[in-house]
Structure 1
Amino acid sequence: MNKYIIPLLAGLGALCACSPQGAGGSEEAPLAGARIGGPFTLVDQDGRTVTDKDFTGKWRAIYFGYSYCPDVCPVDLQRLMQGYRQFARDHPAEAAKLQPIFISVDPARDTPPVLKQYVTAFGAPLIGLTGTEQQIAAMAKAYGVYYAKRQEPGSSDYLMDHLRATMLFDGDGKPIVLLKTDESADTVAKELAHWVK
């Protein structure tokens, strides 16, 4: 298990196990009842103010990371968007209800123009959100996300340690499941097909 997923799971408390039924039954979501999520106000890659209310009725696949991330962020986002496209091909009506979102934990460098170039590389409909240090810190706390700056002494460059997880929320903003973007696009597509209705 990735060491950065532990703080999130610790903050979620006891998770309910899934029932044996499939997606059409009364299966309870793995993150049902978890105290993560909530209101936010950020800025998108076009410089527009965005709040959680802009996504009312939309499912959300949310990934926290940063554009200067040298390894996991681009791989996870690539799998997320490849999985989304497979899902959209097979389930276009359901995919239209889903909004993939990348939220920067490095707002000092991830300005809207930087985010625009970054999210464009992964394709629509991925959007990028950033904000002030305080806005990002408040949202990360509400969503159970760990992040911290890691800087070598004497260097002006730095990396950001952060939780590696893609959280799926339903149209009411309730947490559903952690998407397995660390595995494969096929896995992501299957998970989306299972949950997004």
Structure 2
Amino acid sequence: MRKRNALKLIAACAGISSAAAILNACSKTPEQSFQSVDITGAEYARDFRLPDFDGRERTLADFKGKAVFVFFGYTQCPDVCPTTLAELAEIKRQLGPDGARLQAVFISVDPERDTPEVLKAYMASFDPGFIALRPTPEQLVALAKDFKLYYKKVEGKTPGSYTMDHSAGSYIYDPQGRLRLYARYGMGAQALAGDIAALLRG
């Protein structure tokens, strides 16, 4: 009887051979599911190397031990960017003591107007711990390819005015610096806080 039950377990787990692997594959818990899109193992958006608003070059390695939330936008964005940053501030509050282990990284798609001074003041208006990165136009082109990012300059009605269309989703990395989740815009602070808390638990 025990042998028969063991065979059924193995069959249910698609032929995984080791006992540890069988248990891992068959013992999924609610904590292992995410509201965001699980993209663990993706071959893109692995890292960046960009200057922040203080001129310091940053990579994911700078934030080891933290969950890193990366998204693209611009300071004159009327809706998506301020909403996302406000949600991140709320998520940090909801995480309690673990909020210190959440790092928001904003990457500008409008380096022409988003000067270091503008970016620093913009981040501080949401949370002094949030940072912004300012790529050169050439770096932005490369980033768009690597992060599957869409952005486009849209001329305004008055001479010299414009807005930026851009992807609204975000990337979330675990404390080891591995890309894990793609967060769709509009998920809400509570759902994102749950996903980030799960990554922080490991």
TM-score range, shorter chain: 0.7 to 0.9
Whether 2:77 is the aligned partner of 1:69: answer yes
Task: Report what 1:14 is aligned to.
Answer: none
Larger radius of gyration between Structure 1 and Structure 2: 2
Whichever residue aligns with residue 106 of structure 2, its letter is F
**Alignment correspondent of 1:169:** 173
The residue number in structure 2 matching 1:46 is: 54
Of 117, 125, 128, which aligns to 1:124? 128
Displacement after TM superposition at 1:132 (Å): 0.6
Q: Is the 8 A contact 2:91 2:192 kept in 1?
A: yes
Matches within 5 A, 1:46-195: 46-87=54-95, 89=96, 92=97, 94-152=98-156, 155-179=159-183, 182-195=186-199
Identity of aligned residues (%): 38
Report the CA distance between 1:180 and its aligned residue.
5.0
CA contact (8 A) 1:180 1:187 kept: no
| Unmatched tracts of structure 1, length 5 or more | 1-18
Q: What residue identity is the alignment partner of 1:125?
A: G
SS of 1:96's partner is helix
Deviates further, 172-181 or 141-150:
172-181
Contact 2:73 2:107 in 1 (8 A): yes
For residue 83 of structure 1, what is the amino acid of its counterpart? I
Q: Please give the alpha-carbon distance, in whole angstroms, between the structure 2 residues aligned to 1:33 and 1:163.
A: 21
In structure 2, stretches of 5+ residues that fail to align are 1-26
In structure 2, the CA distance between the partners of 1:81 and 1:140, relative to structure 1 (3 Å rule), is farther
1:152–1:181: structure 2 CA closer, same or farther, 3 Å change rule? closer
* Distance in 2 (alpha carbons) for counterparts of 1:133 and 1:108: 8
- Taking a change above 3 Å as real, the CA distance of residues 153 and 123 of structure 1, as seen in their structure-2 partners, is closer
Cα distance in 1 for residues equivalent to 2:102 and 2:84: 17
Mapped partners of 1:56, 1:190: distance in 2: 20
Cα contact 1:45–1:127 (8 A) shared by 2: yes
> Once superposed, what is the RMSD of the aligned Cα atoms?
2.3
Secondary structure of the equivalent of 2:81?
Answer: helix
Shift in CA distance, 191/51, structure 1 to aligned 2, threshold 3 Å: closer
Code of the residue aligned with 2:85 in structure 1: it is L
Return the letter of the residue paired with 2:63.
Answer: F
Bigger helix share: 2
- Cα distance in 2, alignment partners of residues 48 and 176 from structure 1: 26
TM-score norm. by structure 2 comes to: 0.75
1:20 CA drift (Å): 4.9
Q: CA deviation at 1:182?
A: 1.3
User: Which letter maps to 1:23?
Assistant: E
Provide the C-alpha distance between the structure 1 equivalents of 2:190 and 2:63, rounded to a whole number of angstroms.
Answer: 26
Q: How many residues align?
A: 172
TM-score by length of 1: 0.77
Aligned-residue offset at 1:66: 0.5
- Displacement of 1:24 after TM fit? 6.0
